[in-house]
Amino acid sequence: MDQDPRYWFRAKRIGWGWGLPLTWQGWIALAVYIGVVIAGVVRFRPHEDTAAFVAVVVLASLAFALVCWWKGEPPRWRWGKD
């Protein structure tokens, strides 16, 4: 499968969505996402301020999904044979 260098994330081989990053920009985006979630754990202890923690995770996940949609291969259902 040839990968277009414009894409930061490759499409999954099986299923719908994106897999691991292809470029350093994609790895930075993934690291920022993980960092925001970890910061949310530290700042809003999940067992103490559950609503704030869930809000941080949901917003970070939506932002990361938008980056994947914008900079990733077009998603479609795949069965592993392309």
Does 68 score more than 70 pLDDT? yes
Q: Which residues contact 23 (CB under 8 A, 6 or more apart)?
A: 5, 7, 8
Average pLDDT over residues 54-77: 94
Annotated domain spans of the chain: 21-72
CB atoms within 10 A of CB 18: 22
pLDDT digits (tens, 9 = 90+) for 1-59: 455 568 999 888 888 889 899 999 999 999 999 999 999 999 998 889 899 999 999 99
Q: Which residues contact 61 (CB under 8 A, 6 or more apart)?
A: 33
pLDDT recorded at residue 2: 53
pLDDT recorded at residue 1: 47
| 68 compared with 76, residue with greater pLDDT | 68
